[in-house]
């Protein structure tokens, strides 16, 4: 009888766990998805735990136009200004390029008090180049005086996971190589036991002569194996026909899948990556690039990952 009870209890636990793990852990609202040209649709991803309206914004190339789209699509049932001022709690900026931060700078007069989390090499660009009185107004809390102190710079490092103020999220940071001598950042976001990985612009280790991605894959492999990683946001800027010497620190479908091969091996191979959402960001929309990149990824997806092509303003559940 005792054994039977114990058996029943473990069965109930297993069912409970299965139901729990089938529930989405995160909601993502892309405010911008492209890697160039379309200044109203550049890299910016709002992310929160599912069912929680306290978001962080991973990069902020486009903000207002993305929020307008999200409100028009009824992704948010509040006006743009309310979402911007009350739902959005903090920015995480991956690197200093305009297509990852212009929306934040332009919208700063209408924004509420927030933290900007970034590595020192990104905060330096914000402080010296954008929130300076020659290019804009200094809405931040350091740099050229006078300081308007709406935004608080929060310096990240790669040592420890940090709690994100005013949210239930935690973030661990990794350095990426984005062209010779230029760094970008990846953010590993955690809510309870679930993780989502967002990469800013990055080149492939083979092209960059770097081991930044290898180190990142080593760090997340245990999370993939434990099914705790709910998705990877990663760029594919150019199609395969882009020559290696004109990648400018970016990925192609072939290079992306090569990197996924490294991750696959570190996770022990087999079907470990099958159905893991791979959210393809930062497509540069010149010429036929968009169609080519999608086709090339679909034709070469050896680990059967779930390819997701995000749309501005449309919620993604992970
Ligand atoms: Zn970019
Ligand atoms: Zn860039």
Alpha helix positions (H), the chain:
2-22, 64-72, 80-82, 102-107, 120-125, 205-208, 212-225, 253-266, 289-299
**Domain of 259, in residue numbers:** 25-317
Q: Which ligand is nearest to the CA of 60?
A: 1
Three-state secondary structure string covering 6-68? HHHHHHHHHHHHHHHHHCCCEEEEEEECECCCCCCCECEEEEEECCCCCEEEECCCCCHHHHH
Residue 51 Cα to ligand 1 middle (Å): 30
User: Residue 248 falls within a domain, yes or no?
Assistant: yes
Q: In this predicted model, what pLDDT tens digit does every residue of 185-219 receive, in sequence order?
A: 999 999 999 999 999 999 999 999 999 999 999 99
Mean pLDDT of 107-112: 98
Residue 203 Cα to ligand 2 middle (Å): 10
User: Residue 6 falls within a domain, yes or no?
Assistant: no
Q: If we measure between CA atoms, which residue out of 138, 118, 119 comes closest to residue 128?
A: 138
Q: Which ligand is nearest to the CA of 33?
A: 1
User: Residue 7 falls within a domain, yes or no?
Assistant: no
Specify the pLDDT at position 261: 98
Q: How would residue 311 be classed by pLDDT, with cut points 50, 70 and 90?
A: very high
Q: How would residue 16 be classed by pLDDT, with cut points 50, 70 and 90?
A: low
Sign of CA dihedral 315, 31, 198, 293: positive
Q: Is this prediction's pTM over 0.85?
A: yes
Q: How would residue 18 be classed by pLDDT, with cut points 50, 70 and 90?
A: low
Residue 76 Cα to ligand 1 middle (Å): 26
Return the number of other C-beta atoms located less than 10 Å from residue 172's C-beta: 20
Which CATH number does the domain housing residue 309 bear? 3.60.15.10
Q: What are the tokens at 201?
A: 């612009």
Mean pLDDT of 119-146: 98
Residue 178 Cα to ligand 1 middle (Å): 9
User: Residue 10 falls within a domain, yes or no?
Assistant: no
Q: How would residue 86 be classed by pLDDT, with cut points 50, 70 and 90?
A: very high
Report the SS3 class of residue 112. coil
Above 60 in pLDDT, residue 1? Answer: no
Residue 22 Cα to ligand 1 middle (Å): 33
Residues of the chain with pLDDT > 90: what percent?
Answer: 93
Q: How would residue 17 be classed by pLDDT, with cut points 50, 70 and 90?
A: low
Mean pLDDT of 299-305: 98
Residue 82 Cα to ligand 2 middle (Å): 29
How many domains does one find in the chain? 1
Higher pLDDT, 6 or 252: 252
Contacts of residue 58, Cβ cutoff 8 Å, sequence gap at least 6: 44, 45, 46, 47, 92, 94, 187, 189, 198, 233
Mean pLDDT of 215-229: 98
User: Residue 8 falls within a domain, yes or no?
Assistant: no
Mean confidence (pLDDT) of the chain: 96
Q: Which residues are placed with Cβ below 5 angstroms of ligand 1, an ion?
A: 97, 99, 201
Which segment of 5-9, 43-47, 208-212, 291-295 scores lowest on mean pLDDT?
A: 5-9
Residue 303 Cα to ligand 2 middle (Å): 27
Q: How would residue 8 be classed by pLDDT, with cut points 50, 70 and 90?
A: confident
Mean pLDDT of 229-253: 98
Q: In this predicted model, what pLDDT tens digit does every residue of 142-157 receive, in sequence order?
A: 999 999 999 999 999 9
User: Residue 16 falls within a domain, yes or no?
Assistant: no
Mean pLDDT of 281-310: 98
Residue 206 Cα to ligand 1 middle (Å): 20
User: Residue 2 falls within a domain, yes or no?
Assistant: no
């Amino acid at each position: 009888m005792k054994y039977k009870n114990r058996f029943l209890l473990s069965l109930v636990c297993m069912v409970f766990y299965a139901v729990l793990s089938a529930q989405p852990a995160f909601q993502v609202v892309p405010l911008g998805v492209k890697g160039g040209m379309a200044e109203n649709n550049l890299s910016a991803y709002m992310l929160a735990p599912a069912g929680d309206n306290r978001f962080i914004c991973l990069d902020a190339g486009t903000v207002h136009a993305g929020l307008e789209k999200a409100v028009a699509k009824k992704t948010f049932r509040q006006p743009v200004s309310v979402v911007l001022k009350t739902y959005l709690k903090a920015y995480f900026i991956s690197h200093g390029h305009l297509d990852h931060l212009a929306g934040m700078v332009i919208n700063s007069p209408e924004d509420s008090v927030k933290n900007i989390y970034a590595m020192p090499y990104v905060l330096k660009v914000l402080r010296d180049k954008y929130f300076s009185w020659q290019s804009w107004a200094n809405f931040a809390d350091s740099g050229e005086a006078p300081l308007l102190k709406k935004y608080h710079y929060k310096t990240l490092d790669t040592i420890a996971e940090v709690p994100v103020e005013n949210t239930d999220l935690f973030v661990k940071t990794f350095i990426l190589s984005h062209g010779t001598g230029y760094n970008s950042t990846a953010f590993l976001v955690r809510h309870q036991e679930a993780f989502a990985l967002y990469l800013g612009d990055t080149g492939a280790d083979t092209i960059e002569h770097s081991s930044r991605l290898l180190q990142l894959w080593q760090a997340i492999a245990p999370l993939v194996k434990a099914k705790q990683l709910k998705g990877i946001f990663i760029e594919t800027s150019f199609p395969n026909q882009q020559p290696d010497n004109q990648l400018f620190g970016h990925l192609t479908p072939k290079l992306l899948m090569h990197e996924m091969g490294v991750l696959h091996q570190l996770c022990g191979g087999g079907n470990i990556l099958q159905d893991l959402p791979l959210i393809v960001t930062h497509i540069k929309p010149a010429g036929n690039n968009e169609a080519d990149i999608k086709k090339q990824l679909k034709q070469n997806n050896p680990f059967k990952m779930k390819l997701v092509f995000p749309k501005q303003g449309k919620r993604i559940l992970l």
